[in-house]
């Protein structure tokens, strides 16, 4: 898998309708227990992605600032670097 993509995996839905995201995918995508996800349908496929966080524009003396409606985790310098690098590929 030299293109950085993880191949398809099989998972099973339990009686309560839950599905376990395979560990390799959770780790690759940075998903942790408690991560909120949006689940939708597109072209007959289930689409699961991190839930967006509502934001608002707040005026500050220094200029407008976008603030989340709920606390977000603090990113480390290494996490920011990894995000920037992933966008360059």
pLDDT digits (tens, 9 = 90+) for 15-55: 999 999 999 988 888 888 888 899 999 999 999 998 888 99
pLDDT band of residue 3 (cuts 50, 70, 90) is low
- pTM of the predicted model, to two decimals? 0.57
Q: Cα dist. 73→44, 51, 62, 67 in Å?
A: 33, 14, 24, 13
Task: Please report, for the chain, the start and end positions of each structural domain, with discontinuous segments joined by +.
Answer: 23-88
């Amino acid at each position: 898998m030299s293109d950085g993509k993880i191949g398809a995996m099989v998972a099973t839905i339990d009686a309560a309708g839950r599905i376990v995201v395979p560990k390799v995918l959770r780790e690759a995508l940075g998903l942790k227990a408690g991560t909120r996800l949006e689940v939708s349908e597109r072209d007959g496929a289930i689409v699961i992605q991190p839930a967006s966080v509502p934001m608002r524009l707040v005026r500050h003396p220094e200029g407008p600032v976008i603030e989340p409606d709920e606390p977000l985790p603090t990113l480390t310098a290494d996490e920011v670097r990894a995000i920037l690098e992933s966008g360059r590929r």
